[in-house]
């Protein structure tokens, strides 16, 4: 027998990959004011709380701006504006006119795309490549898609007419600030509702920039109100008596608090919560594409993605090969300045999140899992985490069960189809899952048996305005995107 070369004697070298000359996007193309007020009833107003908090660039820890903190009185004012706009203007407006306002927002985001991308990256730490190529265009597309629904709702629900719900209170997370604002505002407006939206306190800037666009677009005052603040502000929205609907994207823990908080009311709710998606590679998969899918599945947006493919299951016959390919690919990821066009992995969104991720990395090591991190150089300032793989992981490890929300992948092996289906579904979550195989009938078996709202087969982390997104089980309820996303903002009559 001829001898095979052992894997450990051979290693490709990728040191030079990370030595690109700096290619930073210019900060000058975006204007950030020193201070931002609340956007209520079409105007920027100083908060009645008289308080402001600072927002920083997580890549440099430098202060970017001061953001108004809305208190209960501010929330009341915003809800009142939304209610008045709903009663007096928005619900009465011909639907085709409503559509045109939303189209206008879409177009204006496209026009100012570069500015939005820069601010999104400065405020949130995500790579400019992602802000530029994903967050901003997808947000604009979402408005464009739902704009067209405004005057076609009668076709969406067979044998039923629709009415708007009224005022929607919307609370969004820090991982996709502008995109989540679009996911919330676009369908709500198209269905005839008015909104009070609160971005996450770490990442308020693009939502406030969106407020500028809404103002410029001449959207009637009060139809969209954007108020800033932290959890207390969010709670004031959730508990406000004149709100008809709560739409929340964030952690499962907070989702549960919200469900309890509105239990004694008639408020409707949609919740888009956490996840711990399984990504499954069979031996007959297109392995190199699967590896790429795994990389994008867990390292996209530093892993701050509710549908991140954070649990990898690899069939034992290809386990070593897949892990080797993953390690090689890990070495070619550039970690660093999010503003550099070559950066693949930017800054962790906040110190607090970095602490959580590091806590889980420690837990993983304590649990005896084997860690592999890329050898990349790390910036001296700012919040960063090396892309991390764990092998030698079992289902009972905490890193395989709990949502880490960072660039940390837990890899397990499996032997048979039934085993992996059972393990993939063995979680409280059910947001998304991935499966990689070249055999069509196997794909359909897996896609139908995996209990999750979005299944990516031979791909991962794909999003589109026309495609409904949302979870099973503790990943929440309701869908965002597509025809099904309309249900969240209408009553059927």
Just list the catalytic residues.
Answer: 272, 306
Q: Which of residues 394-433 bind another protein (CB under 8 A)?
A: 428
Determine how many CB atoms are found less than 10 A away from the CB of residue 328: 13
When binding is defined by CB under 8 A, the residue of 21, 26, 92, 380 that contacts another protein is 21
458 touches another protein by CB under 8 A:
yes
Smallest gap from Cβ 468 to another protein, in A, equals 5
Among 251, 392, 455, 491, binds another protein (CB under 8 A): 455
In the region spanning residues 317 to 376, those forming contacts with another protein, defined by CB under 8 A, are 324, 328, 332, 340-342
Site for another protein in 200-259 (CB under 8 A): 252, 255-257, 259
- Of 184, 162, 165, give the one whose Cα is nearest residue 173: 184
CA separation for the pair 450, 285 (Å, rounded) = 18
- Min dist. Cβ of residue 295 to another protein (A): 10
Three-state secondary-structure class, residue 224: strand
Q: Which is nearer to another protein, 6 or 92 (CB)?
A: 6
Size of the site for another protein (CB under 8 A): 82
Helix (H, G, I), strand (E, B) or coil at 110: helix
Half-sphere exposure of 40 (CA within 13 A, CB side): 20
The reply to whether 23 sits near another protein by the rule CB under 8 A is: yes
Counting contacts by CB under 8 A, is residue 457 touching another protein? Answer: yes
Least separation in angstroms between residue 193's CB and another protein is: 20
Among 454, 486, 488, 490, binds another protein (CB under 8 A): 454
DSSP 3-state of 142: helix
Tell me the closest approach of the beta carbon of residue 361 to another protein, in angstroms. 26
Residues 464-493 close enough to bind another protein by CB under 8 A: 464, 466-470, 472-477, 479, 482-484, 492
SS3 113: helix
In angstroms, give the least distance from the CB of 477 to another protein.
6
For residue 401, give the nearest of 275, 283, 492 by alpha carbon.
275
Beta carbon nearer to another protein, 412 or 432: 432
The token pair that represents 53 in the structure block: 């908090």
Q: How far is the CB of 53 from another protein (least distance, A)?
A: 29
| Nearest residue to 42 via CA among 95, 101, 99, 96 | 101
Site for another protein in 248-307 (CB under 8 A): 252, 255-257, 259-260, 262-264, 271, 273, 284-290, 292-293
Distance set, CA 290 to CA 57, 296, 408, 425 (Å): 33, 10, 17, 20
Subset of residues 142 to 171 that bind another protein, contact rule: CB under 8 A: 158-160
3-state secondary structure of 119: helix
Burial class (CB in 10 A: 0-12, 13-18, 19+), 448: exposed
22 part of the interface to another protein, by CB under 8 A: yes
Q: Which is nearer to another protein, 12 or 241 (CB)?
A: 12
- Reference 304, options 358, 260, 348; nearest CA is 348
Pairing of strands 224-226, 194-198: parallel
């Amino acid at each position: 027998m001829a001898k095979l070369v052992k894997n450990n004697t051979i290693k490709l070298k990728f040191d030079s990959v990370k030595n690109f000359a700096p290619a930073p996007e210019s900060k000058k193309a975006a204007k950030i004011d020193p201070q931002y007020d609340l956007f209520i009833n079409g105007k920027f107003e100083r908060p009645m709380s008289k308080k402001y908090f600072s927002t920083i660039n997580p890549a440099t820890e430098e202060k970017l701006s001061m953001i108004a903190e809305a208190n209960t009185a501010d929330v009341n004012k915003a809800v009142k504006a939304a209610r008045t706009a709903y009663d007096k203007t928005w619900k009465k407006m011909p639907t085709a006119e409503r559509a045109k306002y939303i189209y206008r927002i879409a177009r204006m985001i496209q026009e100012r795309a570069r500015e939005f991308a820069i601010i999104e990256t400065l405020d949130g730490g995500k790579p400019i490549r992602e802000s530029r190529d994903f967050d901003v265009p997808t947000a604009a597309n979402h408005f464009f898609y739902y704009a067209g629904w405004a005057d076609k709702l009668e076709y969406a629900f067979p044998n039923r007419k629709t009415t708007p719900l009224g005022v929607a209170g919307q609370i969004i997370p820090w991982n996709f600030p502008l995109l989540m604002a679009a996911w919330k505002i676009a369908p709500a407006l198209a269905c005839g509702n008015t909104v009070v939206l609160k971005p996450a306190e770490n990442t308020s800037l693009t939502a406030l920039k969106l407020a500028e666009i809404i103002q410029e677009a001449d959207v009637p005052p009060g139809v969209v109100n954007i108020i800033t603040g932290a959890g207390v502000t969010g709670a004031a929205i959730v508990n406000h008596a004149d709100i008809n609907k709560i739409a929340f994207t964030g952690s499962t823990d907070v989702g549960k608090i919200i469900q309890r908080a509105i239990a004694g009311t008639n408020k409707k709710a949609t919740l888009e919560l956490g996840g711990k998606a399984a990504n499954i590679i069979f031996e007959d998969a297109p392995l190199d594409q699967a590896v790429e899918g795994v990389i994008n599945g867990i390292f996209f947006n530093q892993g701050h993605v509710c549908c991140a493919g954070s649990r990898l299951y690899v069939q034992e016959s290809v386990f070593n090969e897949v892990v080797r390919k993953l390690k090689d690919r890990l070495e070619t990821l550039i970690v660093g300045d999010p503003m550099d066009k070559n950066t693949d992995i930017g800054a962790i969104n906040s110190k607090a999140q970095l602490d959580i991720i590091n806590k889980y990395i420690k837990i993983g090591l304590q649990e005896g899992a084997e860690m592999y991190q890329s050898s990349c150089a790390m910036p001296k300032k700012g919040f960063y985490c090396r892309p991390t793989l764990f092998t030698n992981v079992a289902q009972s490890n905490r890193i395989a069960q709990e949502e880490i929300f960072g660039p940390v992948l837990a890899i397990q092996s499996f032997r048979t189809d039934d085993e992996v289906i059972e393990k993939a579904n063995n979680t409280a979550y059910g947001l998304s899952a991935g499966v990689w195989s070249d055999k069509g009938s196997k794909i359909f078996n897996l896609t139908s048996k995996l209990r999750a709202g979005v299944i990516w087969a031979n791909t991962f982390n794909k999003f589109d305005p026309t495609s409904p997104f949302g979870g099973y089980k503790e990943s929440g309820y309701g869908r965002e995107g597509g025809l099904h996303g309309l249900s969240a903002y209408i009553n059927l009559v």
